[in-house]
Amino acid sequence: MQTASYRLPAPWGSLRFTCIDGEFDSLIPELEVVEGPDRAPEEICRWMDIAGSMLEHPHVLSAADRRHLFSLSRMRGLSDFARAVLREVSFLEPGEILSYAQIAERIGEPSAARSVGRALAANPFPILIACHRVAPARAISSMSVLKPQTLMPEAYLGDKAKKGIGAWLRIRDLADLP
């Protein structure tokens, strides 16, 4: 198994795009600052461009890009439940924030809110699948653009050190709304 990774600068540090045997395998937000994008294979350059455009002007993946992303080995290797959660989240528009319970209901598993949170913490393609658009119901009720600290998640992708990335993404989503 051959693994390679490529980094793209991001406002908080960088994004690491990982390939296994030439196939896009994961996107990892990192706090480490990089000066410029790494030279990467065409497929990864395409995903770098998509992620970069999503950071600049938040939007959802196109239907074709969503199909391609969900056809990758990494996605096929997830449980049916995790894929259902990620698929539902992939349709959330910028500025739309749903609760874990609402996602659980939408996928037909109304008692699985905690499992939704675990599936999102393991999201292999954040930014592309905007897991920052999901939060605990108690947090959503207190969110306010007038108080940016209320947009800070407890953790981002299960990592408390990266919660500022989640907050940045939420604020960016809201800043780009018409």
CA 130/CA 91 separation, integer angstroms: 9
- From the list 74, 70, 61, 62, the residue with the least C-alpha distance to 23 is 74
> In sequence order, which residues have a C-beta less than 8 Å from that of residue 43 and are 6 or more positions away?
19, 22, 23, 24
Encode 10-22: b = buried (16+ Cβ within 10 Å), e = exposed. bebbbbbbbbbee
Active site residue: 131, 157, 165, 167, which one? Answer: 131
CA 178/CA 117 separation, integer angstroms: 29
CA 161/CA 155 separation, integer angstroms: 7
Residue 45 known to be catalytic: no
Token representation of residue 116: 């939704």
Q: Which of the residues are catalytic? A: 131
